[in-house]
Structure 1
Amino acid sequence: MSELEGLKVELRDLRRVQEELMAQQVSSVPNSSVQRVHISAFNRSHPNLWFAQIERTFRLNNIVTDADQFDVVATHLEDETLLAVEDLLLHPSNDNKYKALKCRILEKFGDSNQSKLQRLLKGDEFVGMKPSDILAQMRRLAPDQDDFIRLLFLQRLPPTIRP
């Protein structure tokens, strides 16, 4: 056998070994549901609603580890939100990373209970809305205050509709 043919055989053997090693590496990676999960982009105007949606997606896709939840959220944030949590992303703690990230985002972009109550009492945003939309928005602002919402809602209705 010539030297050239010997090199060809060695090259073919090396390629075969490389392919086998690559196949072993691919098969050793767990088939994570994190890779297949679809999450909508971060909703800055309703961060509580976005987290409620994403946590249901976690449950449906069996994403239960703190690290996986943290990674999924971190990869779905836009630039301005990333800047607000930069320190948590660059230097994450060893435990409760997801909870820390969620708390910081809600603190930064979510409405406080006080601001929701002020918006509810001020009522400027209800102008021109249908009564059913007014009631829905009031319930969003104060979800556990049915009696209070009913009283405010009836006050906001035109006098001809109240009865």
Structure 2
Amino acid sequence: MPGDDKLEQQNAVSLKLPTFWTAQPQVWFEQAEAQFHIRQITADTTKYYYVVSALDQDTAGRIIDYLRQPPATDKYEGIKTLLNETFGLSRRVRASKLLHMDGLGDRKPSVLMNEMLALMDGHKPCLLFEQIFLEQLPEDIRLLLADADFTDPRP
């Protein structure tokens, strides 16, 4: 609808995304998409150019081939996929980090659980995940949680 473009332009004026986070691209995109939703920005090209404007020099330089010739359609999903694949942790790296965690340290068990769930990248925790979590805990806490129900592992 013609009126939608004008509304999107008005909503887009006040949006300034933070500089892209190469260390946590998925988290950055969650925040960017929240901003798009709040401001009712739905056009693919608009979202794409907001993402491009949030790239620092080094990041833009790494994907310059894409920036010079983006696809005709699905520009936003394309750059999102590219940035997540370029800077996000691979499936194997996430699995390795889960298997070789350094224990609880000075974190609360709930903080450790959140870090482990982030490494799961949306996959549902299973029996092996629960055991890896329990093995990161000191023995006294592990014994208390040994029979805990991890159906909903979010604290």
Pick from 59, 63, 66 the counterpart of residue 81 of structure 1: 59
Do residues 106 (structure 1) and 87 (structure 2) align? Answer: no
Partner of 2:129: 149
- Percent identity over paired residues: 27
In structure 2, runs of 5+ residues without a counterpart are: 144-155
Question: What RMSD over aligned residues (CA atoms) do the two structures have, in Å?
Answer: 2.0
Q: Which has the higher helix share?
A: 1
Aligned to 1:136: 114
Query: Is 1:120 paired with 2:92?
Result: no
Residue 103 of structure 2 contacts residue 137 of structure 2 at CA under 8 Å; is this kept in 1?
A: no
Shift of 1:149: 2.6
Q: Tell me which moved more, 127-136 or 153-162.
A: 127-136
Following superposition, which runs of at least 4 residues in structure 1 exceed 6 angstroms of deviation?
Answer: none
Higher relative contact order (CA 8 A, sep 6+): 2
TM (norm. structure 1) is 0.74
- TM-score w.r.t. length of structure 2: 0.78
- Mind listing any 5+ residue stretches in structure 1 that lack a counterpart? 1-28
Shift of 1:160: 1.8
Contact residue 139 and residue 149 of structure 1 kept, 8 A: no
Counterpart amino acid of residue 124 in structure 2: Q
Aligned residues: 135
